[in-house]
Structure 1
Amino acid sequence: MSPKKILAATLALSLAAASAAHAEDGFNYRFSGFGTVGYAATDTDDVLFTNPGQLKGARQNGSGLVDSRLGGQLDLSFTPALSATVQAIAMQNAEGKSMPQVQWAFLRYKVSDSVAVRLGRLSLPAYLVSDYRYVGYANPWVRAPLEVYNLASLDSYEGADVVWSHGVGDGFLSAQVLAGHVSSPMPYDSEHTSRVKSNQLTGAYLTYEIGSLRVRGGLSTSKVTYLSEGTNALFDGLRQAGFGQTADAFEPDNARTTFSSVGATWDADNILLTGEYAQLRSGSKMIGRATGWYGTFGYRLGKWMPYFTYAGYDRDDQRARNDVPPYGPLIPLSMGLDQLAAGNSQHTASLGLKVDLRSNVAFKAQVDHVRPSRHGGTFSAVAPGFDGSAVNVYSAVVDFVF
């Protein structure tokens, strides 16, 4: 279902519920907003620096498109049990345009004091900060570490979830189970038809909060299909050349794919500690297996908080599964398969500073020293002959909420 249809359906149901609730004087609403004005630049033109799902990014000449965004959220309460939420964000998409996108549009029904059911377009709770990833003011970094947050770049899904919440010991435990599907465009210069689909999506996540500690972990699994003119042509060529089994092994066509993660944050007094570990596993050799992790330490000095992050990413090399000999007319097929199957890795040391300018405005500056493999790590548009030299990324943002 398209974002416009989801938004229209949610608003129609919301208005109907609002009319009934208004008659009982039980209706109220709340609007809130958030945004980021940012600038990023690198010290090389050999790679392109982007956030997941973006077409345009930063090189030496810099860009304001990578981190800048503006979002708004409308929360509607019809009765003590029934509510709705719609969130839209204007930020750069897979076509390089900063158009508003519906992130959330769902109805929530509270079955009991501890159980709630939601239906519509929902946040995929795959990460520690999934619920507020794009609310820059709520996060310590300029952006969530890409070594982890680039593994599964899908932010939301269409379906339903059930959330059970209850006090456990001195803390609070939430258990969430979900089901649905998602279809998302992928950024490519030469074509606008690339898309990744996740069908039969299911997942389960636990979140536990006690004092200054918050922990979240879980997994989701789905059947992933990757649609692209370039890869489709490669796999068709392999089958015509008699390498059908190889094409089947690499092509993501309803390939069972699982993403698991665990993360924690300790935020007390002057000290902030946070980190995550995530794994991506797929039956498709093109998607393959990848892991990512990071750890952040911050120390508050009044309104100032310097912080340090160290992160890593590694994708397994699947080229040994390429049984297409690089000879004669098979050379393009073999080279294309090698490009899809090549391993990749990256390690990043980041030093940053967050300054609370006002109660709702923060300034952040961050320098990332990135050591990617020669395949570019999380960078895109890697220049031919790139040797894996270190890349420095310089970023500055102003985050705000209202």
Structure 2
Amino acid sequence: MTRIARPGQAFFVAAAIVPLTLAVRLVLVDFQSMDYRAFVAQWYDFIKANGGFSALRYEFANYNVPYLYLLAILTYLPVPTLIGVKVISILFDLLLAFYTYKLVALKYPRGWVPFLAAVTVSLLPTVVTNGAMWGQCDSIYAAFGVGAVYYAVRSRPWLACVFFGLALAFKLQIVFLFPLLLILVLLRKVPWPGLLVVPGVVLLLDGPALLVGANPAQLLSVYVDQAGEYTRLTLNAPNVYQFLTVTNSADMIRNAGVLFTGTLVLIVILGVVASRMALTIPRVVLLATVFAILVPFFLPAMHERYFYLADALSVIVAFYFPRRLWPVPLLVQFASFFSYTPFLFGRAGVDLKWLALAMLAALVLVGRELVLQTRRPLTPTGD
């Protein structure tokens, strides 16, 4: 039986999460990555030199404008650029931990388990290094993505769609979870007009940039431009393309990879819908994890950071299915973090083929569990 935490104890643990996560990150904040120097710092300097928010009328960055709004706010504050950029990511690290807590608390409403899940996610090596060391902002879309899953299972579909839209406004990688959203629509857990909310939120957040004179065509094409920016089959991502050595016909393989990934996603969607599987909370979490691993594993032109959402969800799904899926976060974190090392530290700690095998093993485990769930009647706990 799960221990019941007294209110005072629960507050103490919750209050401890924040200083603990900050203390771990404090030792990393002085590190300047190549991405920070080549992109984010230059974007900040451009914004500051061109009037703050009014600088957003120019085309100077390949990120969507909501993140640039945050950089613009920094230019008005007496905060060193490097510290300010990393504080943005760290704040969303905490938001990601919060929604991890909320989602796991649906299974364990009493006791310490939700706090353990939140602390675990906040201290994952990829989560710590992504923002506090690398200066990346993947925690923003991931926090909104996990929040979207939470509101979906809490029968708040419109708010879930708003969170999907917020995530999309910051990063294209939230599309890894869009197959889950489609399943929710097809099984009538989300009304189909809710799908219009997602792009609506993105367009609404483009509004301030449009008001200062930004080019509408450029705002609408930012993700199209990003998608066509990289031609390599993989950019250090621990995925299937680590097993291919290609010098010719890369374009053909890339197109085939996109088609194959889309086919796999469609098979999963149709399988879930055709099986009439009841969408319990554990099963929605499981589906989210399956897609967060499957899509970047088979999709070409993926970066190592694109498994960030899988990093967080693999922990959450392990708390929902502890007996069978406890190895999943270990496999995902091993593969994901060690794929960071060539970029952050200049050398690979583990051969990328082994990392791809670890990620494949995680995908097999969650995929097997999904197949079992489509064939299994509901238990009293809804698993």
- For Structure 1 versus Structure 2, the TM-score category normalised by the shorter chain is under 0.3
TM-score with structure 1 length normalisation?
0.24
State which structure, 1 or 2, has the greater radius of gyration over its C-alpha atoms. Answer: 1
For CA contacts below 8 A with separation 6 or more, give which structure has more relative contact order: 2
* Higher fraction of helix: 2
* Higher fraction of strand: 1
TM-score with structure 2 length normalisation?
0.25
